[in-house]
Structure 1
Amino acid sequence: MGNPERDNETGKFTVKYPREDFLEAIRKNGGMAGTSDIAESIGVIRETAYKKLKRMEEDGEVNSQRVGNSLVWTIEGHSEE
């Protein structure tokens, strides 16, 4: 699914997952999805999904909202409110 890419700091190869995969995972879950649901949909561990989603949030592509002990993600401008 992902593309291998060398990490500039460690020199290790990592797998890069396209942002569109994360957006599509949110869409498939009705426009609102938890971190674990997104990770499972893409086939990554939860930590990988969380880090990618946080970067996407910083870039204004997605929003997060705490619901209980979980973060729920929505696509920027497409809130379910």
Structure 2
Amino acid sequence: MSLAWKTDVLDFKNQPLSDVAADIADYYQTAIVIDPALAEKAMTTRVTARFEHQPLKEVLEEVRLMTGLSTRKEKDTFVFYIP
């Protein structure tokens, strides 16, 4: 679990995408899910990044660029998927 609520910094060091998505969702208080077709990839895709006081849109864009995945918004939920 991230300490971002306390530090205002999201800091990921070689963490699985599934954990990163959960921490981002928790910090920004928004639903972020990974397309079920990516379940295995979500555990093997690793993210190393540090986000300080960045808007959610920028964080999702940077994760997208790092992983090669895309995001789409479905109602109030952001979804990572393979383009």
TM class by shorter-chain length? 0.3 to 0.5
Q: Which has the higher contact order (CA 8 A, sep 6+)?
A: 2
Which of the pair is proportionally richer in strand?
2
More helix by share: 2
User: TM-score when scaled to structure 2?
Assistant: 0.36
